[in-house]
Amino acid sequence: MSRPIVVLQLNDHKLRALFDTGSFRTYIREDLAKRLPRFRMPRPVRVGLGGHPRTLKEFCLGVVKLEGLPFELKAFPLKRIGTDDQGKEIDMIVGALTMEEYGLIPNPQTGKVALQKLKKREFTEY
């Protein structure tokens, strides 16, 4: 089994994103979050990440592409997220809320993310 780490496109930058069903929120490295609009939280939130307590004071909004398919996300910036099993830096953790919203289903056996629901999305305006 492998952890689903896939490449996402953020504007002209490629991100290595870990799809983590154990993470409620989505996180992005601070240096990459500078490319996105940022917003202060009305009240800071304390979370435990990697065995350390952290306080989240702001979030950013952005559009990323997975295999050419766009989806929006709300991500919380962190100075550093960590590395994968080969020691390569992880740029983003895509959490359960984002995965549920867009029907992104990680498969730990293949290390890939199923995109069937993202591909079927249709928008209708009235």
63-108 pLDDT, tens per residue? 999 999 999 999 999 999 989 888 999 999 999 999 999 989 898 8
Give the structural domain span for 75.
5-120
Residue type, 30: E
Percent of the chain with pLDDT over 90: 61
Longest CA–CA separation in the chain, Å: 49
Q: How many domains does the chain have?
A: 1
How many angstroms separate the CA atoms of 2 and 35, rounded?
A: 30
Residue type, 56: L
Mean pLDDT over 27-55 rounds to 92
CATH (domain of 102): 2.40.70.10
**Which of these ranges, 1-10, 18-27, 89-98, has the smallest mean pLDDT?**
1-10
pTM assigned to the model: 0.89
Predicted confidence at residue 125, as pLDDT, reads: 53
How many angstroms separate the CA atoms of 2 and 5, rounded?
A: 9
How many angstroms separate the CA atoms of 43 and 58, rounded?
A: 9
Is 108 a domain residue? yes
Is 112 a domain residue? yes
Most confident of 8-12, 58-62, 102-106: 58-62
Pairwise pLDDT comparison (38 vs 110), residue with the higher score: 38
Q: Cα 105 vs. chain centroid, distance in angstroms?
A: 13
Predicted confidence at residue 57, as pLDDT, reads: 96
